Structure 1
Amino acid sequence: TMFQIKQISFRCLQVCNLLMSFLIISANADHDNIVKVKQGQVSGIELSIQSGYVTAYLGIPYGEPPTGRLRFKKTEPRKPWHGVLKAETFGKSCFQNREEKFAEFPGTEIFLVNNEMSEDCLHLNVWVPSAKPKDAHVMVFIHGGGFESGTTSLDIYDGSVLAYAERVIVVSMNYRVAAFGFLALPGHKDAPGNAGLFDQRLALQWVSENIAAFGGNPDNVTIFGHSAGAASVGFHLISPGSYAYYNRAIVQSGAVTSNWAINSEERAKRLTMKLAEFLECPHTDNDAIITCLINADPILLTEKQLLAKEPYDLTQFLPIVDHDFLVDVPENILEQSMKRTEILIGITKDDGNPFTLIYSSDFNIKTESSFSSEELQKRLKRFFPSAGDLGVQSILLQYKDWEDGNNDEKNREAMELILRDYFFTCPVKSFARYAVEHQNNVFVYVYDHRSSTDPWPEWMGALHGAELPMLFGKPFINKGHYTKSELFFSKTIMKFWANFARTGSPNVDEEDGFVWPLYSLKDEKYAVLKLSGSEVHQKLSMRNCQFWNFFFPSLLKLVK
């Protein structure tokens, strides 16, 4: 499903439950690393990196286990514990399905949950550079996974190198996903929706209350997220209850303006009813249904969600307008207000990959490199079931290379661009437009680098998530697998992100000639981040975004 196909451009050498083997873990149960937080004491683990080390505090519980009546509702802050909590291994992951049908793709392995699952999964991780900083800037990461999968214990999200290289404190949290995080019967007190977003907010509140004890500055917190995590960052930008807990925001390949980021009340209700049916719940009344879902075995509940999926659906349980976290649909809120702050937002050059593989008749990656005009049309019908023939024709008119209509490779490229623009480019541009209209400083990027370790076929380019290995400093720990220039590039990306967290601008003082311009509605300048040196371009996908943001919605109204 959309973000579980979760793909990325590089090979995870081993998905390990503990930290990566390259880190020489000092057997130093040093008392210096005991930290006192509101709930009690925690001790961390020292990890050697290059010539220094970071202290990692892994699996700190921040919320009470959301079980029983709390299964689909917001939970409370964790109760205090006695003694010293050993925070040396990641906490359990929240319940989710491993996407088996994509398992043979080498690039998906790094996104599949790699440890035990439990409803007691509300844990967070803190990576602190040493020597312990004073008043360090804090960067809190929200993982993606289409709101139905993902966990912080994945190798790719390890925060140690970023913390070490930029002397920032990096935090990541697990939050409930899939039905546990987003099942809703709108208006019902035991399943009001958005539990997963409230988990994230609770983790942000924990950071605000406790990060000073680790040497962090609670008044300098930047939230950054990828994919569904980027949409989550967007939700915190339009939900005033979150404003106090962070300052700046980084939005990577996802936006609240994306159609995949939110469910209508009708769809939320339909999915809940469908799941209840597969679990053989009585459908006498809503109370009975919710009670049955609350009492269902979590493993069974997780498995049955796959059956309750509607054919060709990319995502399933999603945030909704619950009149609590979200008072209205995102566009309506954005017309009125959003948090005043600086925002860094962007996409990857080939963000539509590997979603081009979805709905292909066979999942053989080797033969997947092109397809016929008929195949293109067939897939568009599956992706846009409500568009009708006219809708599909309009998309083809906009994207197909009509001078070379039977070129399979060009058809494949058209499909990739359609998905990139519809899922990412145009929602991101629309969100950036609102942000600028609210007088926020906005920096926009297109990340254009395909990792040399990328296991996906070359034609996929800089696909969805391509920036993550560089942002989390993978070339520093898998040295033999990346080029020297990638090591340098990774440094640059970490510097851009951390600088933005520190100052509200990604620009570095050093004279390297590249100045990343502010995004304005007049010239729409943005940075293209490349290995060979970044460039400034302007007016990203103007014509295509006119199509998706204005023409296509009007056409759909006519078709209906």
Structure 2
Amino acid sequence: MHISLLLFVSFCLTSTSAGSSVSQDRPSATIDSGVVVGTSTAIPPAPHKIDKFLGVPFAAPLQRFSPPQKETPWQGIYDASTHKPACIQQFDFPEEDRARIIKWLNTPGPPAGESEDCLYLDIYAPPKGKEPKAVLFWIHGGVYLYGSGSLPLYDGSILAAIHDVVVVTTNYRLNVFGFPGSPEIPEGQRNLGLLDQRLALDWVQRNIAAFGGDPEQVTIFGESAGASSVDALITSPPHPLPFRAAIMQSGHKTLHPESSDSEKSWKKLIELAGCKESDALQCVRKKSALELKGIVERAALPFNPILDGVTVSKTPRRDRLSSINDTSAIARVPVMMGTNANEGSMYALPLARNTTEEFLHLVLSYLYPRGRPKGLLEALLKAYPLGEAGVKTEVGRMDRILTDVLSQCPIKFVADDSALVEIPTWRYYFDAGFSNSALFYGSGAYHSAEIEMVFGTYNTTDAPAFQVEVSRAMQKAWTDFAKDPIRGPGWGKVPEIASFGDGFRPGSSVEGKAVLEVIAEDLDKRCALYKGFYTG
């Protein structure tokens, strides 16, 4: 609930987090742990300001490699006017790869740097009304190695102001700090980053009403590893369920679940850190965060979730398919999922020196480490001929293959499974590229390109009118779904697919281009080539 600061004027209270005096006209809320004070911001063309509460703690101070605990109460007023640090980031060497990822996916980076003290979330809230608002809870991506809820890309101000929803973005622990592979840690406590997400959702259930949000109208949404996290919450749900709907953008955690690299990486880490196996966990706990960060980045050690049966189901596809008879198997909530037209472009560019055949050898050795099915390589080369629409170069060909293999086809299979067991399921497709957001010439609708369109955080100073229209349509679809997930985002359920952007690219004409259309053509025509791998 909002509290008048006039009650505190005579006491000249100071901020818990920054030690500065608090202005009377700043918005405040009383939550489980105390009073928080934020800021108000005007977002044209909205007729009202929105309130921002940044860097609000949802957990007690952390003990390294231990599960998160509920936040501790504070005395006085907590100043929630600025972002708090991101969790420790991992950008692997060599320097060329590291610099490229930072430039493409982390610029501008976390506004407050990074720290182990990082379990904070940000709330963007419109003015309270007679009825509580729907809530959108965002889980960022970054292959579980990097990322932050405080990145400017994820600013929820426009969604809150224009579409009258409450937006929450959260941090969670990453890399070795979030997914340590130590055998000394109980299996159910190793996915610390996913436990962090669950605690943040618990915080929302307990506190979001103070910001005008409805804890019974929470939609979780995320992109890439964030979408994978959303799917993990669906297929291995917390109890009681802290959300009523879900959106998965370019990611899943259902098909072909893999064993984690974390245990192997942990063994290498303790070797490089000079620790003995007999007391490895204690030894690594004593190392500085900066030293551990340096080791994992230079050795490029991957740390990611394990199939623990607690936060990640060991049989997610079977659980989804059996849920029509066993409704407790998964969270049978309405779901929207989709992909971008050029999911593979940023991964294909560094492989430009390879031919498609050489590239396919790499892909198939990954998909089928024990040997690929006979004739598959030849079938793939035939299925992606050069000269076809959108496939004019070897790099474009690789982009198309990676898009199908990594995103489009698996999302199709998950959506089909979901619809098969009568879960309300919608699918979207983002197919537009704009010069003010391109990663490089020809990057197209690359992996993560839709995020700024959904949040409205693209560069508006030179945005063409068509980009503005596409972004508004996507914002409306996402928020309409959050407000009424039974009715849906505004188009028919699977097998229909809503396409945003109509293939627009820099330099092309907008004449005749549709902002949103239901696709008639078969986008998934090559997915049969991968069905055996993903669903067999």
Q: Does TM, normalized by the shorter one, top 0.5?
A: yes
CA distance in 2, matches of 1:190, 1:387: 28
Q: Greater relative contact order (Cα 8 A, min sep 6): structure 1 or 2?
A: 1
Residue 394 of structure 1 is aligned with which of 376, 381, 406?
376
Residue 256 of structure 1: how far off its partner (Å): 0.4
Residue 497 of structure 2 is aligned with which of 526, 536, 540?
526
CA distance in 1, matches of 2:450, 2:440: 17
| Structure 2 counterparts to residues 190-269 of structure 1, below 5 A | 192-241=189-238, 244-257=241-254, 263-264=258-259, 267-269=261-263
SS of the equivalent of 1:206 reads helix
| Structure 2 counterparts to residues 149-548 of structure 1, below 5 A | 149-185=146-182, 188-189=185-186, 192-241=189-238, 244-257=241-254, 263-264=258-259, 267-283=261-277, 285=278, 288-309=279-300, 316-336=302-322, 337-358=329-350, 360=351, 368=352, 372-373=355-356, 375-377=358-360, 379-380=362-363, 386=369, 388=371, 390=372, 394-400=376-382, 409-474=392-457, 478-504=459-485, 516-519=491-494, 524-530=495-501, 532-537=514-519, 541-548=523-530
CA distance in 1, matches of 2:52, 2:115: 22
Q: Aligned-pair RMSD on alpha carbons?
A: 2.9
Q: Which residue type is aligned with residue 212 of structure 2?
A: G
Greater shift in the superposed pair: 438-447 or 45-54: 45-54
Cα distance change, pair 189–472 in 1 and its aligned pair in 2 (3 A) = same
> Does the CA-based 8 Å contact 1:42-1:87 persist in structure 2?
yes
SS of the equivalent of 1:544 reads coil
Q: Which residue type is aligned with residue 139 of structure 1?
A: L
> Does the CA-based 8 Å contact 1:133-1:215 persist in structure 2?
no
CA distance in 2, matches of 1:291, 1:166: 49
Residue 77 of structure 1 is aligned with which of 44, 66, 70?
70
CA distance in 2, matches of 1:467, 1:217: 26
> Does the CA-based 8 Å contact 1:401-1:410 persist in structure 2?
no
CA distance in 2, matches of 1:210, 1:404: 55
Structure 2 equivalent of residue 558 of structure 1: none
CA distance in 2, matches of 1:242, 1:256: 19
CA distance in 1, matches of 2:100, 2:37: 39
> What residue ranges of structure 1 are gaps of 5+ in the alignment?
1-26, 311-315, 361-367, 509-514, 555-560
Cα distance change, pair 392–458 in 1 and its aligned pair in 2 (3 A) = farther
1:135-192 Cα deviation digits (max 9, x unpaired): 0111111100011110122111111111111010000000001111112235733883
Residue 93 of structure 1 is aligned with which of 81, 86, 91?
86
Cα distance change, pair 386–309 in 1 and its aligned pair in 2 (3 A) = farther
Cα distance change, pair 430–238 in 1 and its aligned pair in 2 (3 A) = same
TM-score (norm 2): 0.84
Q: Which residue type is aligned with residue 443 of structure 2?
A: M
Mapped pair 1:54 → 2:50: yes
Q: Which residue type is aligned with residue 304 of structure 1?
A: I
Residue 372 of structure 1: how far off its partner (Å): 3.4
Greater shift in the superposed pair: 290-299 or 373-382: 373-382
> Does the CA-based 8 Å contact 1:187-1:322 persist in structure 2?
no
Structure 2 equivalent of residue 7 of structure 1: none
SS of the equivalent of 2:169 reads strand
Residue 40 of structure 1 is aligned with which of 34, 38, 42?
34
CA distance in 1, matches of 2:75, 2:532: 58
Mapped pair 1:550 → 2:521: no
Cα distance change, pair 538–386 in 1 and its aligned pair in 2 (3 A) = farther
CA distance in 1, matches of 2:455, 2:37: 24
Figure out how many residues of one structure are paired with residues of the other and give that number. Answer: 491
Residue 394 of structure 1: how far off its partner (Å): 2.0
Residue 56 of structure 1: how far off its partner (Å): 0.3
Higher helix share: 1
Cα distance change, pair 60–326 in 1 and its aligned pair in 2 (3 A) = same
CA distance in 2, matches of 1:204, 1:35: 18
TM-score (norm 1): 0.80
Cα distance change, pair 540–237 in 1 and its aligned pair in 2 (3 A) = farther
Q: Which residue type is aligned with residue 87 of structure 2?
A: C
Mapped pair 1:147 → 2:141: no
Percent of paired sites with the same residue? 29
